[in-house]
Amino acid sequence: MKIKLRSYTPEDFEALFEIDQVCYPPEVAYSRRHLRAYLRFQGADCVIADDSGKPVGFCLTAHRDGQGYIVTIDVLESHRGKHVGSKLLKESERRLAANGVCEIDLETATDNESVVAFWLKHGYRKRGIKKDYYPGRRDAFAMVKRLVESNK
């Protein structure tokens, strides 16, 4: 496995849509319209993990006025547990810091222990709970990470 990180191009859209569809239940996965909208946000950035030229994961972020947000991080099941998500996150955080971001926010389901553990391992802290954030009345942790000033 040789993972290469690169930036999103419009030709990647269908592959990213398909990855998102298999990473999340239908009621949580993004529609084509919503995924396109997030990719077009002012300040949006998307890092793709390729394995042998094929996308196997991505991290979509956005930033504005020094505040960053992780929209989603998706990694195909076949590549989980192999540090692909960590590599995507590290590069995404580096890019956000280079754009003047000092703090990154995200939401993640409270009932997904492995994902919560991933965020905690990478320095994110629980800020609170958003009740009924996801379909099916699932709650989400609001999480935050303050970036070190020397990353700029």
* Residue 10: C-alpha distances to residues 71, 120, 138 (Å): 18, 32, 32
How is the chain split into domains, by residue range? Answer: 3-151
Residue 152 has pLDDT above 90, yes or no: no
Q: Which residue has the tokens 């996150």?
A: 89
Pairing relation of β-strands 103-109 and 67-75?
A: parallel
User: For the segment 14-60, what is each residue's pLDDT rounded down to a tens digit?
Assistant: 999 999 999 999 999 999 999 999 999 999 999 999 999 999 999 99
Whole-angstrom Cα distance, residue 115 to residue 152? 27
User: For the segment 74-125, what is each residue's pLDDT rounded down to a tens digit?
Assistant: 999 999 999 999 999 999 999 999 999 999 999 999 999 999 999 999 999 9
Q: In a 3-state reduction of DSSP, which class is residue 138?
A: strand
Specify the CATH class of 3-151 in words: alpha beta
